[in-house]
Amino acid sequence: MEEREKKKEIEEDHRKVEELVPQCFHKWKKVFRKVKSKRMPTKKPWDHAIDLKEDFIPRKGRIYPLSRTEKEEV
């Protein structure tokens, strides 16, 4: 029973992706699927740690300036 439910869920997900993702992006539609989006990407050789100094204290501030319209949306 559980196997059927999983297959049904996967089929529904495929249909949703087909409907929601524009045709020009269907070449990459597998990345929009629910199953793929729930897992972390595989480790790559260029992945590396970002080591912070022990006494580092993050400062509060804007990441980048926003326009008036963008500020209103946030």
Q: Please check whether residue 35 is in contact with residue 13, taking contact to mean a CB–CB distance below 8 angstroms.
A: yes
Tell me the average pLDDT across 34-62: 83
Tell me the average pLDDT across 66-71: 87
The residue type found at 56 is: F
Q: Where are the alpha helices (DSSP H) in 1-74?
A: 2-20, 34-37, 68-73
The pLDDT of residue 1: 54
* pLDDT tens, residue by residue, 1-46: 577 887 777 778 778 888 888 889 888 877 777 776 677 778 889 8
Confidence band of 62 (pLDDT split at 50, 70, 90): low
Tell me the average pLDDT across 58-73: 82
